[in-house]
Amino acid sequence: MVPIALTAIGEVFGEKAGVVNIGLEGIILTGAWSAVYFSWLAQSPWVGLLGGALTGTLFGGLQGYVAIWLKGDQIISGVGINIFALGFVPFAIQAVWGVQGTFSKCSVCGVPEISTPWSPLSYFVPATVIVAVAFWYLLNRTRYGSMTKATGENPEAADAVGINVEKVRFLAVIIGATLAGLSGAFLSIDYTGGITKDISAGRGFIALATVVFAGWKPMLALAGGVLFGFAQEVSSFATTLPAIGHTFPSVDYIFSALPYVVTLIVVATAVGRSRFPKALGTPYRRE
């Protein structure tokens, strides 16, 4: 729930400003690796979480520079981030720890959890809810939120009234990418306690679908993250049941595909009634 919801909430902010970041998958992946690396280096999970978030900030700056300042194609630059991450992370795991694909001996990975009558709860869960509420307030009750929405709907009009379209968009992309990097850090530090070359497992793309499902609303992005996260947990749980694996060997693949099937169904039903920001994906060029 946490990585999808947190990434989707950040992407809502970026897309409201008119910039789509297809590179979320790669940012989650590199954020996860950076979190483990800096935790291992500093012997502190908190340093790792910060490292993961700052990795997201770095890639957000790259995406923003190419898409906003250089007026490049937003889709191509995002795909470039994904391709880089897919090559870099396996190489970095091998180069740093001398293992292929997976490093699971991170003794300092893990953060304190909240004790509940049912099971321990990660602090990231209430933090994600707080972020959703804060972003809702920021978008709908502040001047900066109004400027952000204006640059995504009509950048020409926003520029005409004195709004710096490039700066507003750039900050929105940075915020969204930072949350994606933090989501990756959560996956490696708090959720799995290590790093694998495919730890993101499509969560960045599911987060993009969640934004459409949510209609670019932070609170609905939170709800969508819960829905898709639940589908992923059901998938993971079902594939570990020995009775299912022995009786129906091929059914594991069906359950593994469950989160993506749910994503396709939800997006197919939501996209027709969704109202995209009018200037989404379009670089702004001052006349």
In a domain, 45, yes or no: yes
Q: What is the pTM of this model?
A: 0.92
SS3 assignment for 68-101: HHCCCCHHHHHHHHHHHHHHHHHHHHHHHHCCCC
Q: Is residue 282 part of a domain?
A: no
Cα distance between residue 227 and residue 224, in whole Å: 5
Domain assignment present for 119: no
Domain count, the chain: 1
Is residue 121, in this structure, part of any structural domain at all? no
Identify the CATH number of the domain in which residue 14 sits.
Answer: 1.10.3470
pLDDT in tens, 111-150: 888 888 777 889 999 999 999 999 999 999 999 999 999 9
Task: Specify the residue for token string 């909240």.
Answer: 114
Q: What is the per-residue pLDDT across 44-79, written as a single tens digit (0 to 9) for each?
A: 999 999 999 999 999 999 999 999 999 999 999 999
Domain extent, residue 23, equals: 2-102+127-273
Give domain status of residue 281, yes or no: no
Residue 40 counted as domain residue: yes
114 within a domain of the structure (yes/no): no
Residue 91 lies in a domain: yes
How wide is the angle at C-alpha 35 spanned by C-alphas 204 and 102, nearest 5°?
A: 80
7: pLDDT confidence band, cut at 50, 70 and 90? very high
